[in-house]
Amino acid sequence: MAGARPETNGGGADLVLRSLTKRFGDFTAVDDLDLVVGRGEFFALLGPSGCGKTTTLRMVAGLEQPTAGRILLGEQEVTGLRPHRRPVNTVFQSYALFPHLDVFENVAFGLRRRRVRDVKAQVEQMLGLVELTGFVRRRPGQLSGGQQQRVALARALINRPQVLLLDEPLGALDLKLRRQMQIELKRIQTDVGITFVHVTHDQEEAMTMADTIAVMRGGVIEQLGSPAELYEFPATTFVANFLGQSNLVPATVADPVGDSLVVDVGGERLGVPRARARAVKGRVLVGVRPEKVYVSAAGEEDTAGNCLRGGRVSDVSFTGVSTQYLVAMPWGQELMVFEQNTGARTAFAPGTAVDLHWAREHTFVLDGAQDIHAGDETYAERTAAGVASPGPASAGTVT
């Protein structure tokens, strides 16, 4: 597990998890988890299905009892409290709107249970916030998916919880609506200033909205930090592949001394700033993001940065915003390059001999003992389908 115990950003801790563990029989869903979420933060728990993120959320809500560990909301210990006694509210994955109640009564449900006064004014104000004024007497069954999502959000938010829990809240929406709701959710969170803990498997969604992301895998936090930190300097191959895409190339450390680490990839020397190296000796993985790489015709350019020569374009795909190249390297691996379509030059044709260039400070080095394909969902699908993958599958040394 990488990443030290996180510090909160000024406002104090709103949610603290200490050594939280949940076992279902022999299966450990959440393993000795420590986490601090700061007040007013938009916090995302990101990970593939089965990584324990939803179980963690359900333990905070009180819908699941932890096997071990503690949960604190601010100063208050809530570990043993029943769900209805906790100052948290949840936006459920399938919304779980009450089908027998109309929009108004769904939203008013929590207020009525707490016998709050001026329910009507509060509900109307909240429906205004989520832009559902005029739908008060509709039943959930008469609403679209996006509208149901807003009702679910309003129903939870109206109670002004100390922490709002969102369990894959946008999972059931189509892509366009999801983008729109991401912006909307972020706006609402900024407006109300409540701490949001958002569970998702969609890395783009997490990066768009969250101040801090915890990447979970196998019941533990793999890395924690701001979206930019995680993206620019992933701690593990899993994070490197799960958040966006990465080129990871097996290498050996040739010179561990000095400010810059020198690694050897098939005879070519690459430099890496020491601060961007997670491992400094033996077999390592050298990484660079595809959009950081510049592709040139073979031998044409000579930059001061890192350079891998002898590539051949094996595939070109035009996506409008960018052109995506797959470049076959001499040791059999295929590397990705995303080039923005500025129109400054024409695309390289498949078969062209090319070199790859990038800046040293965009390089990172990871421990070579890890699975090079961890967190790479397209690779997992390909291998599961029995299709042989191009390039070497293991993180061996390239000679």
What residues line the site for another protein (CB under 8 A)? 61-63, 82-84, 88-90, 92, 94, 96-100, 109-110, 113-114, 139, 155-156, 159
Among candidate residues 102, 122, 103, 126, the one with its CA nearest the CA of residue 114? 122
CA angle 251–257–261, rounded 5-degree value = 40
Quote the least distance from Cβ 128 to another protein, whole Å. Answer: 20
Q: Which is nearer to another protein, 100 or 117 (CB)?
A: 100
Q: Which is nearer to another protein, 89 or 363 (CB)?
A: 89
> How far is it, in rounded angstroms, from Cα 379 to Cα 177?
28
Q: Which is nearer to another protein, 158 or 272 (CB)?
A: 158
Quote the least distance from Cβ 142 to another protein, whole Å. Answer: 11
Token code pair at residue 48: 């593939």
Quote the least distance from Cβ 139 to another protein, whole Å. Answer: 8
Quote the least distance from Cβ 30 to another protein, whole Å. Answer: 18
Quote the least distance from Cβ 198 to another protein, whole Å. Answer: 16
Q: Are strands 212-217 and 42-46 parallel, antiparallel or unpaired?
A: parallel
Q: Which is nearer to another protein, 159 or 237 (CB)?
A: 159
Long-range pairs, 81-86, Cβ under 8 A, ≥24: 84/113, 86/61, 86/62
Q: Which is nearer to another protein, 63 or 380 (CB)?
A: 63
Q: Which is nearer to another protein, 2 or 101 (CB)?
A: 101
Q: Which is nearer to another protein, 32 or 102 (CB)?
A: 102
Cβ(234)–Cβ(243) below 8 Å: yes
> How far is it, in rounded angstroms, from Cα 363 to Cα 273?
8
Long-range pairs, 323-328, Cβ under 8 A, ≥24: 323/347, 324/290, 325/295, 325/354, 327/295, 327/354, 327/356, 328/390, 328/391
Quote the least distance from Cβ 78 to another protein, whole Å. Answer: 13
The secondary structure element, H or E, covering residue 186 is: helix 175-192
Cβ(339)–Cβ(322) below 8 Å: yes
Q: Which is nearer to another protein, 167 or 334 (CB)?
A: 167
Among candidate residues 364, 361, 308, 365, the one with its CA nearest the CA of residue 337? 308
Q: Which is nearer to another protein, 156 or 213 (CB)?
A: 156
Q: Which is nearer to another protein, 195 or 223 (CB)?
A: 195
**Residues pairing with 135 in the sheet:** none
Specify the 3-state DSSP secondary structure of 244: coil
Quote the least distance from Cβ 86 to another protein, whole Å. Answer: 8
User: Sheet of 88-91: strands edge to edge?
Assistant: 88-91, 163-167, 195-200, 42-46, 212-217, 220-225
Cβ(289)–Cβ(362) below 8 Å: yes
Quote the least distance from Cβ 45 to another protein, whole Å. Answer: 18
Quote the least distance from Cβ 89 to another protein, whole Å. Answer: 6
Q: How many other CB atoms are found less than 10 A from the CB of residue 330?
A: 14
> How far is it, in rounded angstroms, from Cα 297 to Cα 356?
9
Quote the least distance from Cβ 194 to another protein, whole Å. Answer: 15
Quote the least distance from Cβ 343 to another protein, whole Å. Answer: 51
**Residues pairing with 288 in the sheet:** 247
Cβ(395)–Cβ(368) below 8 Å: yes
Unique residue bearing structure tokens 């009507």: 120
Q: Which is nearer to another protein, 1 or 101 (CB)?
A: 101
Token code pair at residue 307: 């350079």
